[in-house]
């Protein structure tokens, strides 16, 4: 069942690849800013066409990755757990997002440990799935659990191409997920198998096409058009894949989910 969602996004007005903090990023590879703008606008229009509310935070010059709104915070039941980015280049992004949340009446907790928002903290019904290994620390997992009072399940990422949890896994609904097992350590794979025995399993090709950097409203799955096998599996399970091309953002290691912060009130 689809349910209306509230999303926060940031226009890619200043989007560029100026440094390399993951294997996807190559500063010598030019970004087509006009194409990125069109792709981003299509994503926003698609969300609204499916009945979702989309709000925007103003981009800031000199912060080329600010478009990746998911990394700025995680919001559960109206409580905002902010970010403390691993890379010094991204740390200033926290300020404008905190300002937006405070201006809209939210209390914001500033983490003491390195934490990259919904990039690594993924609310999944009764608990929060939490990634570590490249960016967010285990200390941040503990801090988030204390803040939200929700069980946090730590998962270790082992493949640098899937440096955030939201590149290797996404939540379909309150009961199930899709994920790429080889992105995780053996013990974390076992945890996911126990928690989600009926999960939709993605191939490496699906994952490398940013198919797991998707957003689901419980029925519609906004997904990279390159993840064709995963889209077929989702359709077989009764979900409705909605392809949205954000390929220009892949140059920075991001996709649909990276550009989308969900505000859970």
SS3 198: coil
Which of the residues are catalytic?
164, 258
DSSP readout, 23-87?
TT--TTS---HHHHHHHHHHHHHHHHHTT-EEEEE---TT-TTTT-GGGG-EEETTEEE--B-SS
Task: For tokens 């590149």, name the residue.
Answer: 167
Q: Furthest-apart CA pair in the chain: how many Å?
A: 45
Cβ burial of 77 (10 Å; 0-12, 13-18, 19+) is exposed
Q: Find out whether 60 and 261 touch, Cβ atoms under 8 Å.
A: no
The beta strands (E) that lie in 50-204 are given as: 53-57, 74-76, 79-81, 108-109, 121-124, 127-132, 152-156, 169-171, 177-179, 200-201
Element of type H or E holding 100: helix 94-103
**What CA–CA distance (Å, rounded) separates 9 from 252?**
17
- How far is residue 122 from each of residues 59, 105, 199, measured CA to CA in Å? 24, 23, 15
**What CA–CA distance (Å, rounded) separates 221 from 228?**
13
Provide the CB-side half-sphere exposure for 93 (13 A, CA).
29
């Amino acid at each position: 069942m689809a349910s209306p969602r509230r999303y926060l996004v940031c226009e890619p007005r200043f989007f560029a690849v100026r440094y390399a903090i993951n294997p996807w990023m190559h500063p010598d590879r030019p970004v087509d800013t006009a194409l990125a703008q069109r792709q981003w606008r299509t994503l926003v229009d698609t969300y609204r066409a499916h009945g979702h509310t989309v709000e925007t935070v103003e981009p800031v010059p000199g912060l080329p990755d600010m478009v990746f709104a998911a990394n700025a915070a995680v919001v559960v039941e109206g409580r905002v757990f902010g970010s403390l980015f691993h890379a010094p280049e991204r740390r200033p992004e926290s300020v404008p997002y905190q300002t937006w949340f405070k201006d809209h009446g939210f209390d914001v907790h500033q983490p003491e440990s390195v934490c990259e928002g919904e990039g690594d903290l993924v609310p999944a019904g009764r608990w929060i799935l939490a990634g570590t290994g490249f960016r967010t620390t285990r200390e941040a997992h503990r801090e988030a659990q204390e803040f939200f009072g929700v069980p946090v399940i730590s998962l270790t990422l082992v493949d640098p191409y899937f440096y955030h949890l939201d590149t290797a896994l996404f939540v379909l609904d309150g009961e199930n997920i899709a994920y790429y097992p080889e992105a995780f350590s053996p013990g974390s794979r076992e945890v996911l198998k126990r928690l989600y025995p009926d999960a939709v399993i993605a191939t490496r090709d699906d994952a490398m096409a940013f198919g797991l950097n998707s957003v689901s409203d419980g029925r519609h799955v906004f997904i990279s058009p390159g993840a064709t096998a995963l889209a077929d599996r989702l359709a077989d399970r009764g979900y409705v894949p909605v392809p949205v091309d954000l390929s220009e953002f892949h140059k920075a290691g991001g996709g649909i989910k990276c550009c989308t912060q969900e505000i859970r009130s």
